Amino acid sequence: MPGAWQQPLPDMPAPPPARAWSRLAPPEGYEAQWRRLVDASLELGLGPDDLAATGLDPLVAARGWKPATVALYSKVARYGGLAVPTAATPEPDPPELDLRPLTQVRSEDPEHLRSAAWCALALGWPGSVGQFRSLRREQVHPTARRLLVRVDGEEWAVPGGLTAWHAWETVRNRFPVLAASPWVLPALRRGPGFDSRIGGRLSTQALQVTFTKHAVRTAAHLRATSAPSRREWAEALAQEYGRLSYDSFRRLALAAGAPPVTARGVVRAGRAVARATRRVR
């Protein structure tokens, strides 16, 4: 026998944004990105339902996120159970770029040398930011001709990275706290985190900021030091460096032929190689 008709239940008021976010578990492996997504939403007074309704547009407008960042956080939101629109990760533009100036040693400033060594390693071992964050000095072995990176029982040869690596190692060994650090890319100063310390492991966000600063400073150096005959080349390269992220650097390195370290980015690199092949034909 069919049940008696009942009036629809009234809409329940949404809980406060902070309480609503606290009810959701962060997706495994993306806890840090989830925390930043929640913080950005709470700054605007948005709860999970609000974000699902509006998408990431309010956060993009407030924080000025680039397309690659939007793609990352839309993925994190979906992994956490929020039905936000999919944002495609942009392809590297341009598909080819001279990355060698980012590996060149220009001074003995520790921050500069750390970044130059990072870029030199990444040209031959294009690991993700998370992989570089966890890379230990004992996993990098300099030989007479190249660096060898040994991770999880596999080995990668990195030609052309010795100069930047030795310069970074020489300078960091002058400071006992850096000399004692096991990390290839240690923190050079204390950050806002409770457990942050000099010589400790950098956060993912701090590494991304470090790369951006290095690319911008390299762009300024190119503009200031290029010969008149190469000024046009330097200006074009500097403009690209001014908007270069590490994720784009990594995909460009893969497209240029660097051996893949993980599956991430390999498909896009393959597409970039295919496009370049079609242009040659």
Is 51 within a domain?
yes
Is 155 within a domain?
yes
Q: Does 154 lie in the same domain as 52?
A: no
Is 2 within a domain?
no
**Amino acid 182: pLDDT:** 97
Is 9 within a domain?
no
**Amino acid 39: pLDDT:** 93
Q: Does 159 lie in the same domain as 61?
A: no
Q: Does 113 lie in the same domain as 56?
A: no
> Dihedral through CA 146, CA 150, CA 153, CA 155, nearest 10?
-30
Can you tell me the distance from the alpha carbon of 52 to that of 123, in angstroms, rounded to the nearest whole number?
Answer: 39
pTM for this model (two decimals): 0.67
**Amino acid 49: pLDDT:** 86
Give the domain extent around 193: 100-280
Q: Does 189 lie in the same domain as 147?
A: yes
The residue from 90, 119, 136 where one domain ends is 90
- DSSP symbols for 140-191: EEE-SSEEEEEETTEEEEEET-HHHHHHHHHHHTTSHHHHT--BSSB-SS--
Contacts of 189 (CB under 8 A, 6+ apart): 198
Pairing of strands 140-142, 154-159: unpaired
Q: Does 163 lie in the same domain as 68?
A: no
Is 39 within a domain?
yes
Can you tell me the distance from the alpha carbon of 223 to that of 217, in angstroms, rounded to the nearest whole number?
Answer: 10
Q: Does 188 lie in the same domain as 64?
A: no
Domains contained in the chain, number: 2
Q: Does 81 lie in the same domain as 42?
A: yes
**Amino acid 275: pLDDT:** 52
Q: Does 184 lie in the same domain as 141?
A: yes
Is 82 within a domain?
yes
Q: Does 165 lie in the same domain as 197?
A: yes
What is the mean pLDDT of each successive set of 10 residues along the chain, which is 281 residues long?
52 81 87 90 90 87 83 87 74 74 96 97 93 95 94 91 96 96 94 82 90 95 93 93 91 87 53 48 48
